[in-house]
Amino acid sequence: MTSLVDIRDDGGIRVMRMNRPDKKNALTAAMYDAMAAALTGTRTDQAIRCVMLAGAPGAFCAGNDLDEFRQAAADGEGLNDSVLRFLHALAYCERPLVAAVDGLAIGVGTTMLLHCDYVVASAAARFTTPFVGLGLVPEAASTLLAPRLMGPRRAFAMLVMGEPLDAAGAQSIGLVNAIADSAEVEGQALAAARKIAALPPEAVLASRRMIRGEPEELAERIDLEADFFRERLQSPEAQAAFAAFFARKK
């Protein structure tokens, strides 16, 4: 198991921390596997009442590791099984998901938040989904969840035009519940998680299931997006974008 994701259970709360700060928490296959296992494990562990997602100071998550995207493109592949396992685990997770976001939330760093039930962001949080600029398409059922949350035009500006959102912008479209100072963002998220964990668990699960709708719908959209994603990864547009990213410091 990778050390780049730290999983700790504390008082009914599973804290899942992405921990690759030197790469701004860009996610590798091993990290997706660890996070998928942590989420899936909550199905059989009744003691876990709530899951909290956290990152590093200043970097919640910089999205998928672009080197792995570049490699997948070279191998003629799409989103790998690890990514898809994680996205499906998000869709099928029954426990409430709380997130503490400080700093960068890019690509899947933002789209995973669409699956969360309560999000606390620091005033320094920046949400960006640069998929289309990279020659790709949005993933994680964001093409379903984002228009549902914020309406199709704002979803287009975010997912297609790649317009970034600051914490206040994200709060205004309903992506974020509360804004805190960077030093307090995790404390506030943990307080929300504790509040949820203290509620009658079966009533929470039943209510959440009705609010979210059927996970199969999300899973189908994840798979549809993945089909387009595979095609796009092979495209000259995507390959040029990856080459430009890795050439930027040379």
Q: How far is the CB of 225 from ligand COA (least distance, A)?
A: 12
Interface mask (CB under 6 A) for ligand COA, residues 157-186, using x and -? Answer: ------------------------------
Q: Would you count residue 29 as binding ligand COA (CB under 6 A)?
A: no
The residue from 6, 12, 23, 230 that contacts ligand COA (CB under 6 A) is 23
Nearer to ligand COA, 27 or 91 (CB): 27
Specify the stretch interacting with ligand COA by CB under 6 A; choose among 99-107, 169-177, 182-190, 200-208: 99-107
Nearer to ligand COA, 21 or 187 (CB): 21
Is residue 79 a contact partner of residue 226, using CB atoms and an 8 Å limit?
yes
Q: Would you count residue 77 as binding ligand COA (CB under 6 A)?
A: no
Site for ligand COA in 110-139 (CB under 6 A): 130-131, 134
Q: Which residues neighbour 59 within 8 Å (Cβ) at sequence distance 6 or greater?
A: 21, 24, 25, 102, 103, 104
Q: Would you count residue 66 as binding ligand COA (CB under 6 A)?
A: yes
SS3 100: strand
Q: What are phi and psi of 139, to 5 degrees?
A: -130, -165
Report d(CA 186, CA 121) in Å as an integer.
9
Q: Would you count residue 141 as binding ligand COA (CB under 6 A)?
A: no
Q: Would you count residue 107 as binding ligand COA (CB under 6 A)?
A: yes
* Nearest in space to 192 (alpha carbons), one of 112, 89, 103, 117: 117
Report d(CA 241, CA 244) in Å as an integer.
5
Q: Measure the CA dihedral 24/65/110/21, to 10°.
A: -20
Q: Would you count residue 80 as binding ligand COA (CB under 6 A)?
A: no
Report d(CA 79, CA 223) in Å as an integer.
10
Binding-site size for ligand COA (CB under 6 A) equals: 15
Q: Would you count residue 24 as binding ligand COA (CB under 6 A)?
A: yes
Q: How far is the CB of 180 from ligand COA (least distance, A)?
A: 22
Report d(CA 232, CA 138) in Å as an integer.
11
Report d(CA 99, CA 50) in Å as an integer.
11
Q: Which residues bind to ligand COA, rule: CB under 6 A? A: 23-24, 26, 62-67, 104, 106-107, 130-131, 134
